[in-house]
Amino acid sequence: MTGRSGSRSTTSARHLGNIDPGSGNVDPDTDAPLCLAADGITKYDCQTLDAVVQTKLAVLPTRYAELWANLVADFPEVKQHPERVYLVQYYDPTHDDAGDICTFAASDISQADWTWFHDGVLGSPGKGGLNDVLSQTAQQYGWTLVGGVADAYAQHGYCASNNWVDTLFESETLEGTRDGTGHPNEMGQAKSGDIERTYLTKLFYVGGDPTNGLDPAYKP
């Protein structure tokens, strides 16, 4: 797997996005944009990570259109209340304790890699990237966007001392695999859950206050 523009950036490819255009890994013998096939021998040209990400982002609107069509087909009443569909903003693992972009976090993830991931992959509403796609999708279909998640991680990214995402070491130590790297840890899941709970409380309880009891529309 190659980096943002064809240069080798193994860890960012494997751990920041888990995106691989083929089924192989980085060719360790060259900085050229070559990938290894599953047999570990065959080499073939492959896209840069940035190209792969942009291709996948471009497909998302179609995927969400299919999801909406399936929801309407299976639950026709949702068409009358699209705001009951909740789309959760993606968390941001790219900042340190001071709220600055990480300068490093692993042997070959540079600050430029973190900046690219923050700006080009995650993005923000109105500025492109995944979270912009989510924002536009929620607006298009009348869904409720659960926002504030990315901001909540502003000082709790991968390189923060009070990190809310698993580091490579934590993933390998706690899970026995590196696949959890960059994913929310227990604290991150709890904090994201708190944000989601706030939105659901407004939906299910009269006036958004649990002491008022459930909204009659949602009583069993």
- C-alpha distances out from residue 152 to 61, 76, 123, 149, 188, Å: 26, 35, 15, 5, 9
Q: How many helices, marked H, and strands, marked E, lie in the chain?
A: 7, 4
Cα–Cα distance measured from residue 90 to residue 135, given in angstroms and rounded to the nearest whole number: 11
Q: Estimate the crossing angle of helix 49-74 against helix 130-141, to 10 degrees.
A: 20
The full 3-state SS of 72-103, as one line of letters, equals HHHCHHHHCCHHHCEEECCCCCCECCCCCECC
Rg (alpha carbons) of the chain, rounded to whole number: 20
Give the pLDDT score at 20.
36
SS3 43: strand
Give the pLDDT score at 163.
96
Q: What is the mean pLDDT of residues 100-117?
A: 80
132 CB-near residues (< 8 Å, 6+ apart)? 123, 124, 125, 126
- pLDDT band with cut points at 50, 70 and 90 for residue 71: very high
Give the pLDDT score at 55.
87
Residue with structure tokens 């060259």?
Answer: 30
Cα–Cα distance measured from residue 59 to residue 61, given in angstroms and rounded to the nearest whole number: 6
Residue with structure tokens 């087909």?
Answer: 73
Beta bridge partners of 102: none
Closest CA to 153 of 110, 122, 109: 122
Give the pLDDT score at 82.
95
pLDDT per residue over 12-53, tens digit each?
222 233 333 333 344 444 444 555 555 666 655 566 778 888
Residue 110: both structure tokens together: 């540079």
- pLDDT band with cut points at 50, 70 and 90 for residue 105: low
- pLDDT band with cut points at 50, 70 and 90 for residue 200: very high
Whole-model pTM: value is 0.75
- pLDDT band with cut points at 50, 70 and 90 for residue 8: very low
pLDDT per residue over 144-189, tens digit each?
999 999 999 999 999 999 999 999 889 999 889 888 889 999 999 9
